[in-house]
């Protein structure tokens, strides 16, 4: 995707700069577009756990490069296995992270240690290219759903979409998952407008989704997380579309905390609720999302404090709770498959069921 006319991916290697890894510091957006240069596996692990880099597909891709950086220090079998485990443990819910590390290990184990660094950069590069291509395909399949709504309306009628968290290009290597169809619809002239849930506590919607959509010229409105049900009751949402961090083989969907409540409201108001995902987000080993998907519990300070830009123009944090009030911060929830209208994958759309997923991925 482009920033001020220049095409970017969300992660890239600078071969002329010691093969360092570059990402945008997402904790600085939308007020400042800072590029972070990562040169060690420790820096990569820190960037993932502090959410300087985030979004299920992107943390997998960046962790893959983290393993390449680790191999530059020590390419032995023991160090590789230990560093892979350390990277995989940086965040627990998004299965893409584990998937990317396992794929790296499977391709690197048969390679002699002296050839592992080059092989690791090459494999991480393939993971990135495939993610970008998968998301573009998701965009094309999801676009059909938006076209279908447009077809049944007078030409030019506004189509109102609602999304939660950030599943845009900055959460993936390129394009995004939930936002890819929206970009394509906008680019082909459909009159789309997006309700952007602010997505407390870290405000990925307000900070990142709004920034992405605004940079691309997509009309959007940021709303409080609690506003979606009201808008649905008043016919102001035509389609909900979200990303996900892990989908079970039965179609349960883990995504940013608050997604489940949107799905409940959508069902009550007969608003279609779609989930966009690359196949790297499917956990074929899990059948029951509510009981089996590990939910990340993040620091209480993300609830007690809010980050933003002060009136002096500087980025700052302010406390919003009384001193001493305890806070809890589950970062994800699970939307049961029965509330999901369908899944949008790189191979097409399917019902959120085991049969549906297996019809698209029979090799599983």
Feature table: binding site for substrate: 54-56, 91, 204, 255-256
Let me know if 245 is a catalytic residue: yes
Nearer to ligand MRU, 160 or 281 (CB): 281
Report how far residue 165's alpha carbon sits from residue 26's, in angstroms, rounded to the nearest whole number: 13
Nearest to 168 by CA among 85, 263, 276, 249: 276
Q: Are strands 253-256 and 332-335 parallel, antiparallel or unpaired?
A: antiparallel
Displacement of CA 116 from its chain's centroid (Å): 29
Is 322 buried (19+), middle (13-18) or exposed (0-12) by CB count in 10 A?
exposed
- Binding-site residue ranges: 54-56, 91, 204, 255-256
Nearer to ligand MRU, 165 or 340 (CB): 165
**CA-CA distances (angstroms) from residue 135 to 65, 139, 178, 293, 352?**
20, 6, 9, 24, 19
How many CA atoms lie within 13 Å of 112's alpha carbon, on the beta-carbon side?
A: 2
Give the footprint of ligand MRU on this chain (CB under 6 A): 54-57, 94, 165, 167, 171-172, 176-177, 204, 243-245, 255-256, 331
Nearer to ligand MRU, 23 or 117 (CB): 23
Cβ-closest residue to ligand MRU?
Answer: 243
Tell me the sheet residues that pair with 306. 318
Provide the minimum distance between the beta carbon of 72 and ligand MRU in the complex, in angstroms, as a whole number.
27
Report how far residue 134's alpha carbon sits from residue 8's, in angstroms, rounded to the nearest whole number: 17
Report how far residue 67's alpha carbon sits from residue 124's, in angstroms, rounded to the nearest whole number: 9
Nearer to ligand MRU, 232 or 257 (CB): 257
Q: Which of 238, 245, 283, 333 is catalytic?
A: 245
Tell me the sheet residues that pair with 2. 7
Task: Tell me the H-state helices in 29-90.
Answer: 41-49, 56-73, 77-88
Nearer to ligand MRU, 243 or 356 (CB): 243
Nearer to ligand MRU, 294 or 310 (CB): 294
**CA-CA distances (angstroms) from residue 316 to 35, 305, 309, 331?**
19, 10, 6, 22
C-alpha dihedral (233, 237, 243, 244), degrees to nearest 10: 10
> What order of strands is seen across the sheet that includes strand 282-283?
282-283, 246-248, 253-256, 332-335
> With contact defined as beta carbons under 8 Å apart, do 84 and 105 qualify?
yes
Q: Which residues form the catalytic set?
A: 245
């Amino acid at each position: 995707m482009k920033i001020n006319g220049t095409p970017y991916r969300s992660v890239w290697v600078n071969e002329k700069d010691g093969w360092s890894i570059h990402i945008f510091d997402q904790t600085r957006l939308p007020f400042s577009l800072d590029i972070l240069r990562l040169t060690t596996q420790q820096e990569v692990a820190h960037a993932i756990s502090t959410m300087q880099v985030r979004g299920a597909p992107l943390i997998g891709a960046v962790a893959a490069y983290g393993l390449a950086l680790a191999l530059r220090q020590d390419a032995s079998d023991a160090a590789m296995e230990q560093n892979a485990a350390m990277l995989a443990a940086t965040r627990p819910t998004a299965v893409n992270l584990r998937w990317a590390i396992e794929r790296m290990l499977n391709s690197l184990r048969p390679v002699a240690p002296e050839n592992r660094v080059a092989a690791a950069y090459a494999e991480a590069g393939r993971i990135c290219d495939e993610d970008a291509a998968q998301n573009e395909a998701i965009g094309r399949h999801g676009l059909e759903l938006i076209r279908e709504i447009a077809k049944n309306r007078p030409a030019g009628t506004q189509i109102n979409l609602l999304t939660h968290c950030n599943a845009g290009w900055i959460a993936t290597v390129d394009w995004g998952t939930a936002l890819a169809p929206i970009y394509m619809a906008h680019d082909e002239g459909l009159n789309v407008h997006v309700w952007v849930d602010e997505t407390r506590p870290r405000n990925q919607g307000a900070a990142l989704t709004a920034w992405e959509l605004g940079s691309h010229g997509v009309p959007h409105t940021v709303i409080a997380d609690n506003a979606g049900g009201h808008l649905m009751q008043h016919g102001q949402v035509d389609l909900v579309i979200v990303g996900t961090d892990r989908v079970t083989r039965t179609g349960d969907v883990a995504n940013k905390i608050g997604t489940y409540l949107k799905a409940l409201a959508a069902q009550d108001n007969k608003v279609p609720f779609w989930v966009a995902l690359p196949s790297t987000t499917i956990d074929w080993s899990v059948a029951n999302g509510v009981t089996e998907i590990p939910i990340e519990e993040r620091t209480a300070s993300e609830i007690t404090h809010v980050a933003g830009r002060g009136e002096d123009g500087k980025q700052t944090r302010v406390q919003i709770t009384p001193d001493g009030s305890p806070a809890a911060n589950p970062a994800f929830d699970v939307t049961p498959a029965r509330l999901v209208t369908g899944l949008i994958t790189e191979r097409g759309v399917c019902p959120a069921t085991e049969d549906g997923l297996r019809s698209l991925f029979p090799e599983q």
